Amino acid sequence: MSLRFCLIVALISVVAATTPYAQTKDRLDRRDVLFGYEGVGRLESARGQCTAALIARDVAVTAAHCVIGKGTDFVFRAAYSDGAALATRRVEDIVVAPGYIAARNSSDYRAQTANDVALVRLVSPIHDANTDPYAIARTPRQGAALTLASYGRGRSEALTLERGCVLQTRFRGGVVEIDCDATYGSSGAPVFTQVDGRPQVFAVVTGGLDDPEGRPVTYAVELAQIVPGLLTTLRNNRALAPVNTGARRLSVGDRAAGGGIRFHRPGE
């Protein structure tokens, strides 16, 4: 994460909550322990991988920086574990939050982080009964217990579930600080809160660092205000001709003329 963004965060932060919960990390490498988290998967391209989570049968949410400049050959592998996945789908369409590109181009790191959200539409829905999409939740209260599900560096071959981390701080612009232990590959990972006994995703990981005492600090961006507009754009894009030829590299905002993923911003 940029030093400049960290300085901005320091300027606008409030007193962080204490951590009253015991944190645990579990490697979900069997179907019986994956229950409830089968909708989380690896989002892969030739240039790397991130984490994403289903919010519809054919739509997953991730971080914008996971898809911008990373090619057009994305594949989503639901519940990936040690070489196998519950379902694998090619990505057909991508939309990013409308403020992300402008902030990235102007090096406005605060706005870039606050808009670091993307939706990917899969070439076909995943109908497996165990991969129910997640509802989008509003941000819980400060100090609430959270769960992070991610494919991070050193643990990318199976989903790691970290329970008991805490929402420390909520910043202006929809960025939250949590004390989950995110690392490379955790970008785009869903942050869950429990609503009526079921996990609902309220944010996705955008970056992290260690504080001066060596403790992990993770930043995530809230979804409740951003996702509805992105879903509308994806639905509107369905009216376009289907993409069914080889992928080619596109810049954000280009429309696919010869095949490959279409990248769009809302309103285009």
Phi, psi of 31 (to 5 degrees): -60, -35
Mean pLDDT confidence for 233-258: 48
**pLDDT recorded at residue 253:** 36
* Residue 220: band (very low, low, confident or very high) from pLDDT cuts 50, 70, 90: very high
- In the predicted structure, residue 243 carries a pLDDT above the cut 50: no
**pLDDT recorded at residue 247:** 28
- In the predicted structure, residue 88 carries a pLDDT above the cut 50: yes
Q: Is the pTM of this model over 0.85?
A: no
Residues making up the chain, counted from first to last: 268
Q: Are 95 and 261 in contact (CB under 8 A)?
A: no
* Residue 154: band (very low, low, confident or very high) from pLDDT cuts 50, 70, 90: low
| Three-state SS letters, 169-230 | EECCCCEEEECCCCCCCCCCCEEEEEECCEEEEEEEEEEEEECCCCCEEEEEEECCCCHHHH
Q: Which amino acid is at 27?
A: R
Q: Rounded to whole angstroms, how far apart are CA atoms 173 and 169?
A: 12
Say which range, 148-157, 184-193, 206-215, 234-243, has the weakest mean pLDDT. Answer: 234-243
- In the predicted structure, residue 229 carries a pLDDT above the cut 50: yes
* Residue 103: band (very low, low, confident or very high) from pLDDT cuts 50, 70, 90: very high
Say which range, 64-78, 194-208, 245-259, has the weakest mean pLDDT. Answer: 245-259
Alpha helices in 1-57 (DSSP H): 3-12, 31-34
* Residue 36: band (very low, low, confident or very high) from pLDDT cuts 50, 70, 90: confident
Q: What would the two tokens of residue 167 be?
A: 């929402």
Query: 164's torsion region: left (phi>0), alpha (psi -120 to 50) or beta?
Result: left
**pLDDT recorded at residue 21:** 53
**pLDDT recorded at residue 2:** 45
255 or 164, greater pLDDT: 164
* Residue 29: band (very low, low, confident or very high) from pLDDT cuts 50, 70, 90: low
Helix (H) or strand (E) holding 113: helix 109-114
